[in-house]
């Protein structure tokens, strides 16, 4: 367990247990050089504790890079609650998790993630002072950032031109995926979609004129852009050979099962936009709201995800490396430039 934590460079990992509510959760604070760690609270029915630990470590490290490359002065963290959000979530369980968050003295500021909602954050805020509670749904701006990342990638691969000429396959049409589909439809893109909830997929397809395929067919759909917007780790040794896209860019976190799959994508001639580059829009919104920025300023920063994507592609090409390494290098350079000039996050109490 310590090897796992040390290999990813985490500052702190906290295992939380509250017998009265049944809470079992893990909080991972990856890096607070740029500021307190921010990241969502994910509730998921993990097969075992090791799977939960692996997920929270990867997600929190991704948040560090996402914040750094997006140019915001926050660090990366994440928490996961083990359990079925449809059956096990209670106010007592959420409040217990909130008390553990509070025990970190502001080093971790939680927000919404898979399996939690804004009302859930309001419950956490009853126990923890620093929570992204009462904020607007970040999904539309997350989707807007993904759209701009896709636009930049399309320009890089196919040259400048409208998205109306492109076929985009979207895996998962929950909050972010559905918002992205609507934005792409407004651009005139040809759309193929899927979701584990067939009713949700059919309803959205009827609204925008998309084609629906079964979840097990979406990755092999022949398309210009594949946009994973569900859970992560969908790109692995088995799925890479099946891909029939030129670009991989979506809203899901940790879409690669292992970092080495970035090399596999490059070898297959598929341009990969790292997820923490493409999906930074929601983070930018939360930070903007936290700091009191005007909506126009926040939206402009989200639209700049396209320019960040272009910069990552240019660095990767210049350095002769894959886009995942290029993006990580850009994020780490910003962190290292700050390291030593400030003490990192200090508990304001």
List active site positions: 78
What angle (nearest 5°) sits at the alpha carbon of residue 228, between those of residues 311 and 50?
Answer: 100
Cβ atoms of 235 and 259 within 8 Å: the answer is no
Q: What CA–CA distances, in Å, run from 223 to 101, 204, 247?
A: 43, 19, 9
Residue 33 φ/ψ, nearest 5 degrees: -60, -45
Question: How many C-beta atoms surround the C-beta of residue 344 within 10 A?
Answer: 16
Overall size of the chain counted in residues? 349
- Site of tokens 């996961």: 80
DSSP labels for 72-131? -S-EEEEEEEES-TTTT--HHHHHHHHHHHHHTTTSEEEEE-TT--HHHHHHHTTT-SS-
Helices 139-158 and 305-319, axial angle in degrees (round to 10): 40
Question: How many C-beta atoms surround the C-beta of residue 161 within 10 A?
Answer: 11
What angle (nearest 5°) sits at the alpha carbon of residue 75, between those of residues 74 and 77?
Answer: 125
Nearest to 123 by CA among 41, 24, 52: 41
| Tokens standing for residue 84 | 């079925």
The beta strand positions in 280-330, using DSSP E, are none
The beta strand positions in the chain, using DSSP E, are 12-18, 23-31, 37-44, 75-82, 108-112, 167-171, 190-194, 211-212, 225-228, 247-248, 271-272
């Amino acid at each position: 367990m310590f090897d796992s934590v040390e290999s990813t460079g985490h500052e702190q990992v906290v295992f939380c247990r509250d017998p009265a509510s049944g809470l079992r959760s893990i909080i991972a604070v990856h890096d607070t050089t740029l500021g307190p760690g921010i990241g969502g609270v994910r509730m998921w029915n993990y097969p075992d504790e090791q799977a939960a630990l692996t997920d929270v470590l990867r997600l929190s490290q991704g948040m560090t890079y996402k914040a750094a490359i997006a140019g915001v002065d926050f660090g990366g963290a994440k928490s996961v609650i083990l359990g079925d959000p449809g059956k096990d979530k209670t106010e007592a369980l959420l409040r217990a998790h909130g008390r553990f968050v509070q025990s970190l003295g502001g080093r971790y500021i939680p927000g919404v993630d898979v399996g939690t909602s804004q009302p859930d954050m309001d419950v956490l805020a009853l126990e923890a002072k620093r929570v992204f509670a009462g904020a607007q749904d970040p999904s539309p701006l997350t989707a807007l950032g993904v759209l701009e990342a896709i636009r930049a990638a399309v320009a890089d691969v196919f040259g400048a031109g409208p998205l109306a000429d492109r076929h985009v396959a979207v895996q998962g049409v929950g909050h972010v995926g559905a918002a992205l589909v609507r934005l792409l439809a407004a651009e005139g893109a040809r759309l193929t979609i899927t979701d584990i909830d067939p009713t949700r997929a059919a309803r959205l397809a009827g609204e925008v004129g998309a084609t629906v395929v079964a979840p097990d067919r979406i990755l092999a759909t022949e398309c210009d852009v594949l946009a994973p917007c569900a859970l992560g780790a969908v790109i692995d040794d088995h799925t890479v050979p099946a891909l029939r896209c030129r670009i991989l860019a979506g809203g899901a976190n940790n879409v690669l099962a292992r970092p080495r799959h970035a090399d596999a994508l490059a070898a297959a001639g598929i341009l990969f936009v790292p997820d923490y580059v493409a999906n930074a829009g929601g983070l930018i919104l939360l930070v903007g709201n936290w700091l009191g920025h005007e909506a126009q300023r926040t939206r402009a920063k989200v639209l700049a995800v396209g320019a960040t994507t272009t910069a990552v592609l240019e660095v990767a090409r210049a350095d002769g490396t894959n886009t995942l390494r290029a993006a990580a290098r850009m994020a780490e350079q910003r962190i290292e430039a700050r390291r030593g000039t400030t003490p990192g996050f200090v508990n304001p109490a």
